[in-house]
Amino acid sequence: MTLHHTQMFRRVNPMSTGDTSKPQGAGNGTSAESPAARWRARANYAERLAGLSQTVLVVDDDPDNRLLLSEILRQQCRVIEASSGAEALEIAFREPRVDLILLDVMMPGMTGYEVLERLRSDVRTADTAVIFVTGQDDENEEEKGLLMGAVDYVFKPIRPAIVRVRLANQLKMIAQRHQMSLLLGRDALTGIANRRSFDEALERIREVSIRSGRAFGLALIDVDFFKQYNDSFGHPAGDLALREIAAVIAQFATAPHQLAARYGGEEFALLLPDATGLAALLDSLRRAVLDLGLKHPTTPWGVVSISAGGIATHAEPDTHADDLLRRADALLYEAKRAGRNRILTRLDSF
């Protein structure tokens, strides 16, 4: 394994708000905006996006079938078409959100079953609903698809009235699940994901890593000397500080399927489907929190800071989520024991 240990002591005017340069991975907000304002803008955008038409990907090598299904769906949702399994995967991985995929079973080059297997092995599409479209009225084939994770079957020849109702029902259920997830998944204080959302996302990415063998990044982040901050300024000021820090952390998890969450108290977590550059990202985050310039006179550097422990790893079948969290937490503990205001990461050998 490879260890990365970074630290930077910076004397900052305790009354300063820091420089206005954007941290690596930050959004495109102007320097006049506070991190919290940028986070609120992103949260509002996410809510607006959730209210827009859903997106359905229609995959069939027969252009007539694609046209028919697209016409059935066009008034209910946004429709994207693909003529092959390879094109479907490219679109599904590229699009920020695909709610439902209508997938032909028998296609040249790559069958629908092979496409579904690929979808389920990637964190970006592991939970995307798939309905198989087939001309085979075979119970064994239908059972196979459902066991692989398809939610339903549409049989050819396509009957528009029946298909329209079945797809409308599926889209309604998907929208309800998405809305419920938004309502249940946010931390009330900071507005970012809560512990429940984080635990569910970690379990999903663990399962995908087992299937695909791909590495992911996990980090636990703690606000340094936070009890002393509350003792000095009071709990309301502490809550405001947590909101500001959460807003910064959220800027480092803006790509699809990245997740910033409040883990508990003054502790946060980051989950990254791609572990590339984990140490550099966490150090940029550490510096960005310093640059908030939140006055904290009892620290050696005069402002609020964070420490973090992160792992870049992949999951084996016997790897449990608790094992991953313990490894990240052990690194966080070492970073704090070494003096705080630093990050410690470990890259597992593959």
How much is the pLDDT for 48? 42
| The amino acid at 164 | R
Rounded to whole angstroms, the maximal C-alpha distance in the chain is 73
278: which residues sit within 8 A by CB, 6+ positions away?
A: 217, 219, 272, 310, 312, 345, 347
DSSP 302: S
Spans of the chain, pLDDT less than 50: 8-32, 35, 38-52, 350
DSSP β-bridge partners for residue 3:
346
pLDDT value for 212? 85
DSSP class per residue in 101-161: EEEES--SSS-HHHHHHHHHTSTTTTT-EEEEEES---HHHHHHHHHHT--EEEESSP-HH
Element (H or E) spanning 227, and its range? helix 226-233
DSSP 8-state assignment for residue 314: -
pLDDT at residue 2, as a whole number: 53
Half-sphere exposure of 242 (CA within 13 A, CB side): 26
In 3D space, the residue among 9, 74, 1, 77 whose CA is nearest the CA of residue 287 turns out to be 9
Distance CA 248, CA 34 (A): 9
Place of tokens 């569910």: 200
- The sheet with strand 2-7 has its strands ordered as 2-7, 342-347, 306-313, 216-223, 267-272, 259-264
Output the pLDDT for position 6. 57
pLDDT score at 255: 84
The pLDDT score that the predictor gives to residue 256 is 78
How far apart, in whole angstroms, are the C-alpha atoms of residue 244 and residue 175? 31
The arrangement of strands across the sheet holding 152-155 comes to: 78-82, 55-59, 100-104, 129-134, 152-155
- Rounded Cα distance between 54 and 267, Å, is 35
DSSP state of 85: H
DSSP category for residue 54: P
